[in-house]
Amino acid sequence: MRCDIVTIFPEFFDSPLATGLLGKAGERGLLEVRRHDLRDWTHDRHRTVDDAPFGGGAGMVMRPEPWFEALDDLLAEGPARVILLAPDGHRLDQATAGRLALEPRLVLCCGRYEGIDERVRERVDEVLSVGDFVLAGGEPAALVVLDAVARLLPGVMGNAASAGEESFAAGLLEYPQYTRPAVYRDLEVPEVLRSGNHGAIARWRREQAIQRTLRSRPELLASAELSEEERARHGLAEGRGDPVG
């Protein structure tokens, strides 16, 4: 996959792209990320990317011209799915990450300040949010999207099983994990995990994942892949995530 990032802070991405999974994906040629400074598409001496809002009010708005010219130039190199990071976009979830991982090329547009001229939104293919909180700009959100997508690219994750086996694939949270020592400061690893009984271990983990999801994120159970027996056992309505009564 190729990914172009348009930002006024290209250096924001230096360390994340050089580190860990994203760094490895780059080294192996599985992901090619190009950063672009939006100010390269300005024409004034001060490389201005923002202006006061029509209609008045506090704050500045990102001007449309640098964005349109940037997208013209980047798309002239070939097709891409253009994504704007903004708090009013569709919420990023694992299904969206999976869908984006199938794209040959993404352009991630990072807005700053209080907002971006509405005409830019109309030129992008998709607006994505990473959650209901206010960021100073789209850069951290773009990194979240890229991290979630990159680990799904063929060949990026060492263990092919782990990407798919993970909790969000089935719509459940992760079960508790332990490693050595078996007892640490009087805190014991559950006996079943040391039993060698792989059937019992699998059942325990499944049960823990359901309990944990029920407790922390019950709304996830609506679309989780639970059997009717599991739903009944946990007092969930058939085929739905809401507790009965």
Min separation Cβ 111 and ligand J9Q, Å: 5
Asked if residues 116 and 61 have their Cβ atoms less than 8 Å apart, the reply is yes
Min separation Cβ 110 and ligand J9Q, Å: 7
Min separation Cβ 174 and ligand J9Q, Å: 23
The residue among 66 and 111 lying less far from ligand J9Q, judged by its C-beta, is 111
The residue among 119 and 233 lying less far from ligand J9Q, judged by its C-beta, is 119
**Which structure tokens are listed for 85?**
């990071």
Determine, following the binding rule CB under 6 A, whether residue 64 of this chain makes contact with ligand J9Q: no
Determine, following the binding rule CB under 6 A, whether residue 129 of this chain makes contact with ligand J9Q: yes
Contacts of 245 (CB under 8 A, 6+ apart): 235
Determine, following the binding rule CB under 6 A, whether residue 13 of this chain makes contact with ligand J9Q: no
Determine, following the binding rule CB under 6 A, whether residue 111 of this chain makes contact with ligand J9Q: yes
- Part of the chain binding ligand J9Q (CB under 6 A), chosen from 50-58, 61-69, 79-87, 237-245: 79-87
The residue among 1 and 92 lying less far from ligand J9Q, judged by its C-beta, is 92
Asked if residues 124 and 82 have their Cβ atoms less than 8 Å apart, the reply is yes
The residue among 26 and 87 lying less far from ligand J9Q, judged by its C-beta, is 87
β-pair type (183-184, 32-37): unpaired
The residue among 21 and 135 lying less far from ligand J9Q, judged by its C-beta, is 135
Bridge partner residues of 183 (DSSP)? 188
Number of residues forming the site for ligand J9Q (CB under 6 A): 12
Determine, following the binding rule CB under 6 A, whether residue 7 of this chain makes contact with ligand J9Q: no
Asked if residues 44 and 69 have their Cβ atoms less than 8 Å apart, the reply is no
CA distance 212 to 244: 18
Min separation Cβ 47 and ligand J9Q, Å: 20
Closest by Cα among 103, 1, 113 to 67 = 113
* CA torsion angle 53 55 59 62 (round to 10): -20
The residue among 31 and 143 lying less far from ligand J9Q, judged by its C-beta, is 143
Determine, following the binding rule CB under 6 A, whether residue 141 of this chain makes contact with ligand J9Q: yes
Contacts of 155 (CB under 8 A, 6+ apart): 28, 30
Determine, following the binding rule CB under 6 A, whether residue 183 of this chain makes contact with ligand J9Q: no
**Which structure tokens are listed for 177?**
């994990």
- The residue from 58, 134, 161, 187 that contacts ligand J9Q (CB under 6 A) is 134
* CA torsion angle 15 19 24 26 (round to 10): -10
